[in-house]
Chain A
Amino acid sequence: MRHRLTKKSGNFSEWLIQKLLLLAGISSMLIMALIFVFLFKEAVRFFFTANPFDLIGKWVYDDWEGHYVFKMMWQSISEVPKYSLIPLICGSLLVAFPATVIAGVLGLGCAIYLSELAPSKVREILKPTLELLAGIPSVVIGFVMLAFIATFIQNTFHTKFRLNAFVGACGVALAVLPIMITIAEDAMRAVPKDLRDASYALGATKWQTVWGTVVPAAVSGISAAIILGFGRALGETMIVLMATGNAALVTGNIFSSVRTMTANIAAELGSVAQGSEHYYALFLVGAVLFTFTFVLNLVSEIVLNKMRQKLRM
């Protein structure tokens, strides 16, 4: 009697647990789909009232110049609101690219050291330290950049703007460094020992083995780390909000103040009237940002899969 009961309830709980886990498993997919639908549903409504051409620029009468000027500006609070995405995309790229380069160089070096050279005792200290770095809230990094590093950079490079894209990029590099190191190191550790042994057997030194065998074998994993890092750098908000000065300028100067897409949304969404053109414009910026990072993540996923297949062979 008792035996039968437990079996029955066992079956039921088994079924329940399986269904719950299924729900948990697909929840990320569901959430993703919901965000996707909601974001684009709101963003599309921008075009109900505005001209798509406004996203590039607008002809505006300039009192000072005395004639019409083509302005590529983001100026949402104005008699003639201007919603050009050009300065924001400029800003985002001008922060994310240098950040990825800085984090890439540092991160690759660190990953090589960790996976190939570091004695296990050093590893035991370095790995938790990296996790600590990953745990620093971005607002703290932003504050340190704003208060201290910005002055140092201005004195070193004699820049016009104290808060500029480069200061932001340095901060964002710190934020993406841990994720880059972790993925790149995993990729290098996944390289089979046989390959290394073969290299040593041919008389290669340690460095030759690392640079000539391990890194090329792990190159897709390393590229995935860099692409993911770039995506994360594009999405970083608090650091850039605090450290880049947020002037929406169309510029290629890395020492100029810039406004990124993320900082723009964070700064303006607080008080925007729901359902206004400005509101939908901000969602549109969000949708563009989402598309950027979505494509980057997709590419890195494909690259990582390629690597896994290659190493399995």
Chain B
Amino acid sequence: MKTTRWVIRGVLVMALAAIIPSAFAAKNITVKGSDTIVVMGQKWAEVYMQKHPEAAIQVTGGGSGVGIAALINGTTDIANASRKIKASEMDKAKAAGYYPEEFKVAMDSLAIVVNASNPIKELSLKQIQGIYMGNINNWNEIGGPNQPILRYCRESSSGTYTFLKEEVLKNKDYAADCQTMPGTSAIANAVSKDPNGIGYGGAAYYIKQPGVKILSVKRDDKSPAINPVKADGTLDYEAAWSGTYPIWRYLYMYTGFKPKGEIKAYLDWIMSPEGQKIVEEIGYVPLKLKK
């Protein structure tokens, strides 16, 4: 009698163990990666799940490198990245049996910011490079007051760190006295309180920040200085699309294989006008839609 009861219990437990994951696994998508994209990714997931109640999408941050590493380890379906996948990461993925597919899902203008009290209004790419490499150390070298320049950076795991290093520093090293801050908000906080500070980060984030000024940037000495933000306080999409504002980047999503089924539907929706509307709401630059 007793044994039969145990057998029944055992069978029940096993049946449950078999049913529960399959019920949930059907349309469960995990997304992991860039902290730059995590808020937008969660908003996408939220809106998408309202429209498709059968889908379950889980979005977490951690950084672009973390997301791509998770894709290679097979612990996520989609990796968010604020930079392109590196060749070394591509090799590792292929060694692990994956063929990462890339999707451009939004654009982001990177703003160079200084304290609101700083008289400097514009910098050329070369000057920004000089500042962050430690060759320009005083504001008076570029027409400002006689004060030392204090450089604020992101930590090296950040996609923004890599982006500025590659695009503006031409892959040279940051100066040793760059102060690395954990997050764009920490940079905004530091620059708003430090009259001699300079920092960088996604342009949309700084629009609403008190005490910081977004600089206009010149591609070279002859080109005009362009601000990533229009006079009315909204992002200048045209400047990013046309590339007249020189520091912009794509934001990417990577899948392990050519996407199909639920994942493909989700990515298609993100790149549709409906998904791009959310990009605007969050404060990034939407993709230029083909008419």
**Residues of chain A whose beta carbon lies under 8 Å from any beta carbon of chain B:** 63-64, 73, 75-79, 87, 146-147, 150-151, 160-163, 241-242, 245-249, 257, 259, 267-268, 270-274
Contacts and interface: CB of A to CB of B under 8 A. Distances in A.
Interface residues of B, number: 36
Nearest to A257: B179
Contacts of B171: 79
Contact of A242 (B63, B174, B182): B182
Interface of B: 62-66, 69, 88-89, 92, 133, 135, 148, 150, 155-157, 161-162, 165, 171-174, 176-182, 186, 189-190, 193-194, 197
A163 B155 contact: no
B172 to A, nearest CB: 7
A75 B174 contact: yes
Nearest to B151: A247
Contact of A75 (B64, B176, B181, B182): B176
A147 B192 CA distance: 11
A247 B66 contact: no
Contacts of A245: 179-181
A247 B69 contact: no
A248 B157 CA distance: 16
B69 A271 contact: yes
B176 A246 contact: no
B177 to A, nearest CB: 5
B69 A273 contact: yes
24 contacts: A73-B176, A75-B173, A75-B176, A77-B165, A79-B171, A79-B173, A87-B176, A146-B186, A161-B179, A162-B194, A245-B179, A245-B181, A246-B180, A247-B178, A267-B157, A268-B155, A268-B156, A270-B62, A270-B65, A270-B155, A270-B157, A271-B64, A271-B69, A273-B88
A270 B65 CA distance: 8
B178 A242 contact: no
Contacts of A247: 176-180
Contact of B190 (A162, A248, A259): A162
Q: Is the interface of B mostly helix, strand, loop or mixed?
A: mixed
Contacts of A146: 186, 189-190
Contacts of A151: 193
A257 to B, nearest CB: 5
Contact of A271 (B63, B135, B174, B176): B63
Contacts of B150: 160-162
Which 8 pairs show the lowest CB-CB distances between chains A and B?
A271-B65, A271-B157, A245-B179, A267-B155, A246-B180, A77-B156, A270-B157, A247-B177
A62 B161 CA distance: 21
A186 B4 CA distance: 60
A257 B177 contact: yes
A162 B190 CA distance: 8
Contacts of A78: 173
Contacts of B65: 270-273
Contacts of A73: 176
A73 B174 CA distance: 11
A274 to B, nearest CB: 7
Most interface-central of B63, B165, B194 (chain A CB within 10 A): B194
A71 to B, nearest CB: 8
A162 B133 CA distance: 20
Contacts of A75: 173-174, 176
